[in-house]
Every structure is written in C-alpha cells, then in structure tokens.
A = this chain, B = another copy of it.
C-alpha cells in the first residue's frame, strides 16, 4: 500500500449515529496525518486501531465546530497516555487563543508541547515537508477562511537493475551517480543506455482534501491528477442554490472538479443529515465522473502502485 485514507467521520455539521463529523487519517510513507478533528475523533481512532503516538501533525481546514470539537479530547488523551513528542497543529491563527484557556484549565499538566502553525488563506503554501512527503495547503471558498490540503509523496529515485550491477561490476559510488542521473560509460568507451541500468521509480502517490467549499474551480490546477480526491458533496444538485448560499458543493459539482482535474478516484463525503438515502449522490456524481464512491465512517481507501 502506497497511500491510504481512513474515514473517521463523513457527515456534515449534524452528526448522525453512524456518521460522525469530519475527520480522517491520511497514511503515507509511514506517516499518519490527521485531517480535521470533529467530535468523536479519538473514539474513531481507537475503533480503527490507529496508534495515537503516530500522529504528530494535525491539519484543520477551518474553524467550524464540526471540524474541530474533537480536538480538546484528543489533546487531553494524548497527555493522559504520557505523550512526550511535540504535536503540531496547522490551523487558523484564532485557534491558539481559543484553546489556550481550555488547555490551561483542562490540561494543566500536559507532558508535551503543542506547536500552533497558522495557515495561509491567500495562496498555496508548503506547510509540511520531510524527506519523503510534502503537504501543501490551498485556499478553498467557504463562509470563513478555509484551506484544502494536498499531500504528496516526493519523487523517488529510479532503482538500479541487479543485472546491471553484475554485468558492469558497479561500485556503490557508481550506483549512486547513475541513480542521480549521471551517464555511465561502458568498457567500450560508449555511454550505456539508462534503461539498461535503471528501472523507473514508482510514481509518487498523492491525495487532496477539499472540504468545506462552494464549487470552486480554482482548485483544479492545484489538485491536477492526484490519485485520490476527497471532495465535500453536502447536497444533491437539485439544491444547488442552497449549496451556493451556504458555500457548499453538490455531488455533480464535485464530480465536475474531479473530471476536470483528471484525478484517479473521487471520494464524496460531508453529506447533509437531511438525506436518508445517499445512493442518488453516487449516481449523480457518476453521471459526470465514473470513478466516484461515497465514503462511510471506518472505511479505508487505498492507493496501490
């Protein structure tokens, strides 16, 4: 498995008994990123047997309650479990001031540090990077400042072919040089074709999260060709006016974004509680973009190479 997303909550503002408010775990290159943190996130993490200590970065799209009310419980539980590693929360700059009095009151002896990083709502911004993964935030268009997130594996080096090592008796420095793109000269004094020496690197995997937002085509170049796109679909298209008024998206609009960004697969979530039967969401989306599915809580969607 190259990348996977586990849905901890898939409903919109009003949770129902089997759909919690928004939260998900994105797993890539052994990193576990928590995206949004609706009420009940810690219970859903338990239910999905996700090791709490693996979560070091939390990305909060916006400060509406259904995306953040699980945060205090999670922070407190991390403390009770004796966490020592710092926890970084990427969110709106208001969050720190809002949480401070609650942290002081409810979590006075927290044994670890919380690092608050402010999101940029003006333009796409790299907000996390390590040697294997990069995370960008990008502006969405909702009633309050809101960011989507793009999580990408970094491009990998090609692999050296075992036959080539044997045939040309390659040393370690030579292998490193070839993998870095340097030409290799054979005993006959001629350059060896790189395809004889290397197998191409696996394509890096990528994931984009777009919630909450109105139908917003500016995201298309940013999320172009991601393997997986999670996009909110609060309403069916017959309620497109309500969607516009409340700065949400319809299933058809989300599928249009997916089609025009040429993504691999579309995951729809953040459904309004008014709908009992969600089947029409899938039908509506698939009329525009075939590879669309509706997510459920506790579902894991994988990207395989």
Tell me the A residues contacting B by CB distance below 8 Å.
Answer: 13-17, 20-21, 39-40, 42-43, 46-47, 63-66, 69-70, 72-73, 76-77, 80-81, 94, 98, 101-102, 105-107
A15 proximity list for chain B (CB < 8 A): 42-43, 46, 73, 77
CB closest chain-B residue, reference A102 = B98
- Contact partner of A73 (CB less than 8 A), chosen from B43, B69, B101, B107, is B69
18 contacts between A and B (CB under 8 A): A13-B80, A14-B81, A15-B46, A15-B73, A17-B43, A20-B43, A39-B39, A39-B42, A39-B43, A63-B105, A64-B106, A65-B72, A65-B76, A65-B107, A69-B72, A69-B106, A94-B105, A98-B102
A105 proximity list for chain B (CB < 8 A): 63, 94, 98
A13 proximity list for chain B (CB < 8 A): 76-77, 80
Are A77 and B14 neighbours in the complex by a CB distance under 8 Å? yes
Q: Which 4 A-B pairs have the closest CB atoms?
A: A17-B47, A39-B73, A17-B46, A65-B106
A23 to chain B minimum Cβ distance, whole angstroms, is 12
A16 proximity list for chain B (CB < 8 A): 43, 46
A69 proximity list for chain B (CB < 8 A): 72-73, 76, 106
A269 to chain B minimum Cβ distance, whole angstroms, is 17
CB closest chain-B residue, reference A38 = B73
Report how many copies the assembly holds: 2
A77 proximity list for chain B (CB < 8 A): 13-15
A16-B46, A64-B106 given. 14 additional CB < 8 A pairs?
A: A13-B76, A13-B77, A14-B80, A14-B81, A15-B42, A17-B43, A21-B73, A39-B42, A39-B43, A39-B73, A66-B76, A69-B72, A98-B101, A101-B101
A39 proximity list for chain B (CB < 8 A): 39-40, 42-43, 70, 73
A81 proximity list for chain B (CB < 8 A): 14
Give bound CA distance, A272 to B98, whole Å: 30
Give bound CA distance, A64 to B108, whole Å: 11
Are B46 and A106 neighbours in the complex by a CB distance under 8 Å? no
A118 to chain B minimum Cβ distance, whole angstroms, is 16
A210 to chain B minimum Cβ distance, whole angstroms, is 22
A65 proximity list for chain B (CB < 8 A): 72-73, 76, 106-107
Give bound CA distance, A47 to B20, whole Å: 12
CB closest chain-B residue, reference A41 = B39
CB closest chain-B residue, reference A104 = B98
A101 proximity list for chain B (CB < 8 A): 98, 101
Give bound CA distance, A108 to B152, whole Å: 37
Residue in A63, A77, A101 whose Cβ sees the most chain B Cβ within 10 Å: A77
Give bound CA distance, A98 to B81, whole Å: 25
A98 proximity list for chain B (CB < 8 A): 101-102, 105
A70 proximity list for chain B (CB < 8 A): 39
A52 to chain B minimum Cβ distance, whole angstroms, is 10
